[in-house]
Amino acid sequence: MKNLMLLPLLAVSVLVYAGPIEDEIIARIHKVGELCLVGQACASGQMMEAVSDSAASPEAIYERSCSTCHDLGIAGAPKMSDVAQWAPRLEKGMETLYDSGIYGLAPGMPAKGMCFECSDDDIRAVVDYMVAVSQ
């Protein structure tokens, strides 16, 4: 019986404390920024323009994203300038090489060689560069 008398007190205390706790939760999960599209007026904040690395040369992209594996032959990557390792890959054709560079090749080649800011055309240019050096 004594427990039943405490029930209303418990219900009131839950209602009193639920509001501030809920506000704290909402504040913690509040989104950090807003998406602003070209032509829209943004409510607040500073807009940043997406920057493509398309201006980088195939050589620079290779050095930054591909050389770690292809200079040493890590995870089965054909070494740069090793004609014997590139020959069977070249027999499959350039489209196959482009697809391997863009989409990756299990188990070791990640999509775009981990150059996520690179476009498909950037990857094709890097593949062309690697093939030219390796023939």
pLDDT tens digit sequence for 18-57? 667 777 777 777 666 666 777 777 655 555 554 544 578 9
What is the distance of C-alpha 5 from the center of its chain? 57
Task: Identify the structural domains of the chain with CATH numbers, from first to last.
Answer: 58-133 (1.10.760.10)
Q: What is the pLDDT of residue 16?
A: 62
Q: What is the pLDDT of residue 53?
A: 45
Better-scored residue on pLDDT, 131 or 47: 131
pLDDT, tens digit, 9 for 90 and up, residues 60-69: 999 999 999 9
Q: What is the pLDDT of residue 21?
A: 75
User: Where do the H-state alpha helices sit in the chain?
Assistant: 2-28, 58-61, 67-70, 83-91, 94-103, 120-133
pLDDT, tens digit, 9 for 90 and up, residues 79-125: 999 999 999 999 999 999 999 999 999 888 999 999 989 999 999 99
CB 134 within 8 A of CB 84: no
The pair of three-digit structure tokens given for residue 82, joined into one six-digit string:
């090793």
The pair of three-digit structure tokens given for residue 71, joined into one six-digit string:
């200079």
Cβ contacts of 42 within 8 Å, gap of 6 or more: 34, 36
Q: What is the pLDDT of residue 24?
A: 77
Query: Taking each helix axis from N to C terminus, what angle separates 94-103 and 120-133, rounded to the nearest 10 degrees?
Result: 130
Dihedral angle over CA of 36, 37, 43, 44, nearest 10: 50
Q: In angstroms, rounded to a whole number, what is the distance separating the alpha carbons of residues 134 and 132?
A: 5
